[in-house]
């Protein structure tokens, strides 16, 4: 299908937000539009916003589900601040999202849902369509529910099934607005519902009805075109951070010539990694859904002992439960990657909201001296590369590694250029060959200080390891005080020496100046956007965004020393800044913290940085 309106407005970038009841299918609608955006050649980033309550009352603000996509013809680093277009399927979704849209935005509503009962459920005291609330916005009052029923009245569908397709009517409107072809969405229906041709026909009919409706309404006087981004040649796909994480581990297993084992217990928002890996038995992936968090990690430690690339996945509450077993992996000096997809805490916290909540737990949340490698992914695509690197470092240095992602990266998606396996770095685990007479369980490489990996069953390498302190070299159980201190120092130094095998810290901008913005993990995109914007305005500001947390890059002190002021920005109450103060107490650090289950916004960061520059 092609559009009929002659006026097409070119745009560099757009933010679209889909919002509706948790049963309205907004996540699927947003995902399908994201796929069409990928096919259109635009760069993009997305932010799924799930309701915090399970089965909140229908039509209430607590049950609103949202999906935001920011796409453009240039590189996109964030999911966007405020939306240019809002699709609101009911009054509650309109009320919940008014603060997330720009002045003058296009608002598309399902007018059939805007009833007195709907207003009451949403908590409106008056009709927002008539009381001036929406003055200044471009309102499109679409009879989405009625036209959906009309589109499928020739099909033998029950009312519940009919209403499940109304999100496709909204998608059809948006597809028309941005001059998108429907064929890729229709292909999705054919694959997803191949066992039910009636559902395929219904979704296609409703999608087309929404598309055609948009072509007839006068309120939509023009359509919009966002030209393709200048992406390098290659094979691309739309990928979420959780799927990218799973793929990164599969790539690492292939490059290390190890089988991949995942021992995991389902937990929001990490479960999708487990789900994705279960789909790849053809690549010799073993995915084990354990009965609890402890069983998940100890099964992975067992798999590591037998020579597999072993991983376990969780979120903050699960990381707490795994802490003793992480200490076991430190003591046995086995490779193991623990993925922590962070969410709001403490305790059960906010399962559907993202937060940089677990850095201190990752650093110090174990009994005794138990250092581990820590890497923090910086965007959804980087989850692939961070997972690969965490596995590489863990395998080559024979020590556990924690990979920190977060809910916004895990559920958000970006355009991913799929790399060739031959272009990925080789991974060389320190495996011992059969009948090596020099092998001792804790004999170490003189450079890295790692012990060597003797896979059980290899001839001549019978040995024993466990959770009690070991005698250096021999591996015999030891209670000798001096040996214990020596082994503690060796394990600490082994992790610190990883700094010799990671890149030095990059500074975006000049290496000295007025203000250094320090950030880490999943805030990279918004930090880069703000800092580059202010640099173009002539401001003396630079960015040091940390991906490697433990150990810190070797030039960290040099980076910090070049600036008059340092501000550390985190989606928590100041965990990385505490870590910096421990290691570099000679510097004064300003802080900017947000703990709302929401990402940083460009406007608020710019205001903070300008205030610091003007002090």
> pLDDT-based confidence at 5, cuts 50/70/90?
low
Q: Are 7 and 223 in contact (CB under 8 A)?
A: yes
Average pLDDT over residues 508-527: 98
> If you write DSSP's letter for every residue of 189-255 in order, what string do you get?
HHHHTTT-HHHHHHHHHHHHHHHHHHTT-TT---EEE-PPP-PPSS-EEEEEHHHHHHHHHHHHHHH
State the pLDDT at residue 579: 98
Decide if pLDDT at 381 tops 90. Answer: yes
Decide if pLDDT at 2 tops 50. Answer: no
> pLDDT-based confidence at 6, cuts 50/70/90?
low
Q: Give bridge partners of residue 400 from the DSSP assignment.
A: 336
State the pLDDT at residue 217: 86
Average pLDDT over residues 151-165: 92
Decide if pLDDT at 529 tops 90. Answer: yes
State the pLDDT at residue 537: 97
Both tokens of 144, joined, read 């989405």
Average pLDDT over residues 399-423: 96
| Axis crossing angle, helix 166-177 with helix 144-151, rounded to the nearest 10 | 100
β pairing state of 64-72 and 13-21: antiparallel
> pLDDT-based confidence at 311, cuts 50/70/90?
very high
- How many other CB atoms are there within 10 angstroms of residue 349's CB atom? 17
β pairing state of 260-264 and 309-314: parallel
Least confident of 26-30, 52-56, 284-288, 563-567: 52-56
Model pLDDT for residues 174-227, shown as the tens digit of each residue: 999 999 999 999 999 999 999 999 999 999 999 999 999 999 887 677 899 999
Both tokens of 36, joined, read 């069409």
Per the model's pLDDT, the better-predicted residue between 577 and 23 turns out to be 577
Long-range pairs of 26-29 with CB within 8 A, sequence gap ≥ 24: 26/65, 26/66, 26/67, 26/89, 26/167, 27/65, 27/67, 28/167, 29/67, 29/87, 29/167, 29/168, 29/170, 29/171
CA-to-CA distance for 463 and 4, rounded, in angstroms?
A: 75
Question: What domains lie within the chain, and their CATH numbers?
Answer: 8-223 (3.40.920.10), 237-423 (3.40.50.970), 513-614 (3.40.50.920)
Going edge to edge, which strands form the sheet with 589-593?
541-546, 513-520, 563-570, 589-593
What is the pTM assigned to this prediction? 0.94
Decide if pLDDT at 1 tops 80. Answer: no
SS3 for 103-128 is EEEEEEEEHHHCCHHHHHHHCCCCCC
CA-to-CA distance for 181 and 148, rounded, in angstroms?
A: 20
Mean pLDDT over the full length of the chain:
95
Decide if pLDDT at 232 tops 90. Answer: no
Decide if pLDDT at 608 tops 80. Answer: yes
Decide if pLDDT at 173 tops 90. Answer: yes
Decide if pLDDT at 3 tops 70. Answer: no
360 phi and psi, to 5 degrees? -65, -35
């Amino acid at each position: 299908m092609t559009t009929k309106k002659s006026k097409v407005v070119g745009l560099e970038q757009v933010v679209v937000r889909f919002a509706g009841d948790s049963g309205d299918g907004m996540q699927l609608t947003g995902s399908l539009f994201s796929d069409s955006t990928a096919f259109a050649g635009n760069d993009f980033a997305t932010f799924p916003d799930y309701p915090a309550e399970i089965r909140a009352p229908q039509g209430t603000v607590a049950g609103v589900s949202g999906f935001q996509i920011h796409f453009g013809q240039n590189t996109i680093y964030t999911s966007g601040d405020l939306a240019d277009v809002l699709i609101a399927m009911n009054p509650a979704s309109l009320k919940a999202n008014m603060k997330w849209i720009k002045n003058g935005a296009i608002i598309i509503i399902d007018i059939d849902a805007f009833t007195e009962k709907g207003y009451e459920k949403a908590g409106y005291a008056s009709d927002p369509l008539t009381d001036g609330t929406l003055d200044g916005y471009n309102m499109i009052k679409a009879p989405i529910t009625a036209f959906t029923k009309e589109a499928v009245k020739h099909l033998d569908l029950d009312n519940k099934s009919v209403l499940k397709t109304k999100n496709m009517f909204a998608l059809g409107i948006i597809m028309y607005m941005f001059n998108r072809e429907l064929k890729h969405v229709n292909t999705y229906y054919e694959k997803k519902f191949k066992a039910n041709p009636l559902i395929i026909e219904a979704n296609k009919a409703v999608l087309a009805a929404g598309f055609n409706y948009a072509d007839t309404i006068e309120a939509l006087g023009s359509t919009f075109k966002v030209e393709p981004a200048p992406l390098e040649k290659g094979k691309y796909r739309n990928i979420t951070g959780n799927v990218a994480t799973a793929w990164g581990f599969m790539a690492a297993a292939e490059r290390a010539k190890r089988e991949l084992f995942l021992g995991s217990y389902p937990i929001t928002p990490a479960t999708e990694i487990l789900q994705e890996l279960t789909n790849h038995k053809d690549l010799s992936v073993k995915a084990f859904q354990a009965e609890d968090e402890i069983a998940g990690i100890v099964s992975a430690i067992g798999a590591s002992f037998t020579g597999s690339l072993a991983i376990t996945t969780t979120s903050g509450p699960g990381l707490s439960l795994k802490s003793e077993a992480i200490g076991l992996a430190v003591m046995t000096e086995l490779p193991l990657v623990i993925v922590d997809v962070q969410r709001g805490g403490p305790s059960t916290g906010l399962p559907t909201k993202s937060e940089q909540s677990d850095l201190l737990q990752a650093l110090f949340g174990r009994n005794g001296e138990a250092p581990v490698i820590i890497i923090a992914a910086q965007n959804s695509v980087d989850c692939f590369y961070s997972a690969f690197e965490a596995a590489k470092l863990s395998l080559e240095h024979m020590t556990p590694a924690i990979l920190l992602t977060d809910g916004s990266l895990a559920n958000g998606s970006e355009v991913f250029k799929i790399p060739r396996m031959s272009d990925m770095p080789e991974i060389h685990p320190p495996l011992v060959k059969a009948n090596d007479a020099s092998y001792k369980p804790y004999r170490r490489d003189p450079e890295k200080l790692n012990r060597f990996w003797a896979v059980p069953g290899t001839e001549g390498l019978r040995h024993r390891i466990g959770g009690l302190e070991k005698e250096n070299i021999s591996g015999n159980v030891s209670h000798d005080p001096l040996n214990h201190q020596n082994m503690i120092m060796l394990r600490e130094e082994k992790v610190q020496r990883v700094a010799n095998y990671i890149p030095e810290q990059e500074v975006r901008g000049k290496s000295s100046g007025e203000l250094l913005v320090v950030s880490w993990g999943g805030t990279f995109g918004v930090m880069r956007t703000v800092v580059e914007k202010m640099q173009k305005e002539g401001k003396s500001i630079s960015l040091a965004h940390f991906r490697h947390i433990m150990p810190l890059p070797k030039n960290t002190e040099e980076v910090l020393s070049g600036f008059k002021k340092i501000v550390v920005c985190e989606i928590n109450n100041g965990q990385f800044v505490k870590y910096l103060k421990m290691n570099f107490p000679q510097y004064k650090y300003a802080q900017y913290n947000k703990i709302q289950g929401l990402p940083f916004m460009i406007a608020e960061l710019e205001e903070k940085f300008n205030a610091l520059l003007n002090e």
